[in-house]
Amino acid sequence: MNPLYDSALHHLDRWVRGGDAPPVQPLLEFAGDALVRDADGIAVGGIRLPPVEVPVARNSAIPLGEDIYSVLYGSSMPFSPEELRSRYGDAAAYVRRFTAARQAARRSKNREQSRIGPRDATCSAYRSATAENAKYGR
């Protein structure tokens, strides 16, 4: 979530100093009172960063424990190596898809409209490649 916080604070700071208002972001999708969810149970719409667009785990707001960290952070169940291979083929294919999702999150007319900054995009790509190569046994 840090890239979102960084971007939100950047836009808020610019706005309170007399600049443009923060850009409008996509809303979550609802069917009646219920959130619409994708095949992985993640809400459709909203800001979807690369780890959501190209997941390696089933993430949920539903905590698995009663401690404060479980309540605040929800839960995450990593996909098995078989599930990862089924979804992405190999680590290189995963990194390509993650990189495309990262570029989409950064894509905009300029930095003033971007959801994540260059520093965050570079860090997320490195973490992604390193983690996935390890999961695929490299």
Q: Hey, what are 102's tokens?
A: 């990262």
pLDDT tens-digit map of 59-111: 888 888 899 998 988 888 999 999 999 999 999 999 999 989 888 877 654 44
pLDDT band at 125 (very low <50, low <70, confident <90, very high): low
On the question of pLDDT at 120 being above 90, the answer is no
Domain count, the chain: 1
pLDDT tens-digit map of 53-63: 999 998 888 88
Range of the domain at 115: 2-135
pLDDT band at 113 (very low <50, low <70, confident <90, very high): very low
Predicted TM-score (pTM) of this structure: 0.68
Whole-Å CA distances, 50 to 1, 18, 19, 38, 55 = 11, 31, 29, 15, 8
